[in-house]
Amino acid sequence: MTLSTSFQPLYKQVYDQLTQRLVNGHWKPAEALPSEMALAAELGVSQGTVRKALNQMVAENLLERQQGKGTYVAEHTQESSLFRFFRLREPDGQSLIPDTQVLSSARRAATKTESIKLNIKGKSQVVQLLRLRSLQGEPVIMEKVVLPLSVFPNIDKELEMPNSLYTLYQDKYGISIVSVRDELRATEIPDEYADKLNLAVGSPVMMVERQSINIDGRVVECSEAYYATNKYVYATEHR
């Protein structure tokens, strides 16, 4: 294990090194990592130090461990990522899985705001997707997703858009979304979306601006969505 000049606990250096391998794609989603003993021997530290790094990565949803089996790279399946980041619920708290329809896909230059949010050069190329999402056959979300082409080359040429984009990001582009930041406001629904969400012109809707963060900490996606909350609610929890 290489020592850095500024003091860092050993387990933190191990953590950084292992996380780097995930970012690099050295270990792919659902793949098994070497055992604690093997990693400890390779990195020249004790088993306990490796364990501390691994457990921190589990806490951050980067890895999954199972007693008796091994340590695996966390996988974003359709189910799990929809379950984690899709916030609409029945008012009683029951969670549901949405259906998704891609309405359009287009390439264009980033706006100023977008280039700031995505931390890309002004007027870089982005892809804009328009999606309509439904729960139990009822349209509930009209969503505009903006992706930098530099991160997702030719994503507008994709034929099959999965229900959860995050699985596509992971499988085709090596992007693992680990967290999202949402900003919510109430507003009147834009006229052009009213029909699509089965709402009267001027109905109150929730606008959700989201930034999605990759395992390496970069914002790689931003979206702006209108949520119809007459039948479902946006649920969240704070600790």
Q: Which of 182, 216, 218, 224 binds a second copy (CB under 8 A)?
A: 182
| Binding-residue total with DNA (CB under 7 A) | 26
Tokens coding 169 = 């990001």
Question: Pattern 56-95, binding to DNA, x per CB under 7 A?
Answer: ---------xxxxxxx------------------------
Task: Find all residues with CB under 8 Å of 94, minimum gap 6, and list them.
Answer: none
Closest CA to 224 of 196, 199, 171, 187: 187
The CA distance from 13 to 115, in Å, is: 32
Binding mask 131-160 for a second copy (x = CB under 8 A): ------------------------------
102 binds, among DNA, a second copy, none (CB under 5 to 8 A by kind): none
**Shortest gap between Cβ of 70 and DNA (angstroms)?**
4
Helix (H) or strand (E) holding 227: strand 219-227
The answer to whether residue 196 forms part of the interface with DNA (CB under 7 A) is no
Using rule CB under 8 A, residue 236 touches a second copy? yes
Contact call for residue 191 and a second copy (CB under 8 A):
no
Question: What are 2's two structure tokens?
Answer: 């290489």
Q: Which does 87 bind (CB under 5 to 8 A by kind): DNA, a second copy, none?
A: a second copy
68 touches, from a second copy, DNA, none (C-beta below 5 to 8 Å by class) = DNA
**Selected binder of a second copy within 9, 44, 91, 190 (CB under 8 A):** 91
Neighbouring CB atoms inside 10 A of 125's CB total 15
By the rule CB under 7 A, 193 interacts with DNA: no
Phi/psi of residue 193, nearest 5 degrees: -100, -15
With b meaning 16 or more CB within 10 Å and e meaning fewer, what string describes 11-42? Answer: bebbbeebbeebeeeebebeeebeebeebbee
* Separation CA 230–CA 100 (nearest Å): 19
SS3 178: strand
Q: Any contact of residue 183 with a second copy (CB under 8 A)?
A: yes
Which positions touch a second copy (CB under 8 A)?
Answer: 60-61, 84-85, 87, 89, 91, 178-188, 204-206, 209, 227, 229-230, 233-239
Which positions touch DNA (CB under 7 A)?
Answer: 7, 9-12, 33, 35-38, 45-49, 51-52, 54-55, 65-71
